[in-house]
Every structure is written in structure tokens, then in C-alpha cells.
Amino acid sequence: MWWVLLVSWLVLIGNHPSFPTVIPEFGPFMLLGIIGAIFANATGAGGGVVFVPFFQQLQFTAESVIATSFSIQCCGMTAGAISWQQYFRHGPESNSQWPLLKRVVGITAIGSLGGIWLTQYGLSESLPAMSFRQFGAQLHIGFGVFSILLALGIFASILYLKRASTRTELTTIDLLALITVSGLGGIVTAYLSVGVGELVAVYLIFRGFSVTFSIAAAVILSAISVWGGVYYHIVVTEAVVWGVVLFAGAGAILGGRLARYLVLWFSPRQVKVFFAGWVLLLGLASLF
């Protein structure tokens, strides 16, 4: 499987119009992809929390920032989703949590894709003031505010880690809340390329589900969400920087595969504290 991906990637590089100059120009983005995917798949947050501020510093246009972030996440979040799916389907928690994980992902995917498509094809067309092009001018503010609120939410969820995580079923309240949270998260994700995975993960932790389960659900949901939203950026905005995606996407696949092992190696508290601190710093940097 992996050697097929490697050969395919080498073929793409070899056939790039700018080969071989594309390697020194975009090669360093592979490291960015690895780092972003590790953060994303080890915490349940989308890789956009790393990619968006980095691309802003490179002065990409707002559309290119989001379009390129979506495209890279299609690689990294998919790799992470496959890794987490394998763990819950065949690992030690498969009997009790795999059916529940499928149900959570199925419910939240409906809400997330609905929110993304409403924003991309509904709000952008019918309400010019809510269009991505209008909102993109304030991308740094939106990303900064969301990142700070997300970091505070993650810090708050750490208090719940002391509580025994015994939840193994969804209530009617959970079903309604997950649809609502994922729908709003999908709208945020359409504008910022991050949002839905983070919000769903924080909700599940607050409700008493294990951190590992919450992260896995968020990663798989994020993978579905970015694949559902990337078509808009390929066909409509046409703002994807493919040279960056070629290398950062390859790095993201590697990072996505490594992330699960980091989560299982470190304690849930360590993962959450480190990630929340990082997101808070990125949010503050975006505003100031």
C-alpha cells in the first residue's frame, strides 16, 4: 500500500512542470506537513491550526490559505483517520467502542457537511456580505478569536480528565447536540479550515467519553469534512497552491500515521495542555 503511494508521489514530482526546481522551492513544506498532521491527528484538531497562520506569514491570499489548508488536510487527516479506524476496529477497545464511534462519526458528518456546503454554495451565493471573499479579508481576526476560544475550551476540558470516562452510549440530548455542534463547526470550518473536529472533541470530553475516543471521532470527522469541502476550492476558487500541497501533503500522510502512537504514549493531560497552549499562542499572534 505505502510503496504504491511513494511511487505515485515520485511520478507526480517527476512530471511537475517545474521539475527539478520544485524540490528546493517547496521541499521544506514537507516538514510543515508532518508537524501539522501530528498536531491535528494527536489532538482531534484540524491541521489548519498550524497551516493557516504559517501561510498567512507567507502572505498567501485568504483564498489560497484556506484552499491549500483544505487540500493538505485531505492527505493528513485521511491517514490519521485510517490509523484511528484500525485501532478501534481491531484494537483492544474494538468490541465496546467501534459501533459507537461509527454512530458518532455518521451523525456529525451529516451536520458538518451540511454546514460546509451551506456556507460554500448557499451563503456565498445568496448573501454577498457572508461570502468567503468578503470574510477572507478578516481571516486573521476570525482565526485568532476562534483559536483563543478553542484553547480556553480545551483547558476547561482538562478538568474533566480526572473523572472516570465510562460513557458508552449516546442520549437523545447528545444526538441533538452533536448535530448542532457539528453543523456550526462545519460553517466555521468552511471559513477557517478548522473548527468542526475541535468542537466535537471538546463536547465529547465534556460529556464523559474517553479522550482517545473523542480524538478518534474528531479526526475521522475532520477527514470526511475536508474531502467534502475541497471540491469547492479546486473548481470554484481555484486557489490551491499545488506545489505546497505536493510536499506538505506527503509529509502530512507521514505525520498522520505517527500521531496515534504519540497519543497512546503520552498522557491525555499532557497532550491537551501542550496543544491548548500552542493554539492559544497562535490565536494571540494572529490578532497582534
Domain residue ranges of the chain, discontinuous segments joined by +? 28-287
Per-residue pLDDT tens digits for 77-119: 888 888 888 888 776 655 577 889 999 999 999 999 999 999 8
Per-residue pLDDT tens digits for 13-25: 766 666 677 788 8
Per-residue pLDDT tens digits for 30-83: 888 888 888 777 777 777 878 888 888 888 888 899 999 999 999 888 888 888
Least confident of 44-58, 153-167, 211-225: 153-167
What secondary structure does DSSP assign to the chain, as a single string? -HHHHHHHHHHHHHT-TTTTTHHHHHTTHHHHHHHHHHHHHHHS--THHHHHHHHHHTT--HHHHHHHHHHHHHHHHHHHHHHHHHHHHHSTTHHHHHHHHHHHHHHHHHHHHHHHHIIIIIIHHH-GGGSHHHHHTTHHHHHHHHHHHHHHHHHHHHGGGGS-----S--HHHHHHHHHHHHHHHHHHHHHS-SHHHHHHHHHHHTT--HHHHHHHHHHHHHHHHHHHHHHIIIII----HHHHHHHHHHHHHHHHHHHHHHHHS-HHHHHHHHHHHHHHHHHHHH-
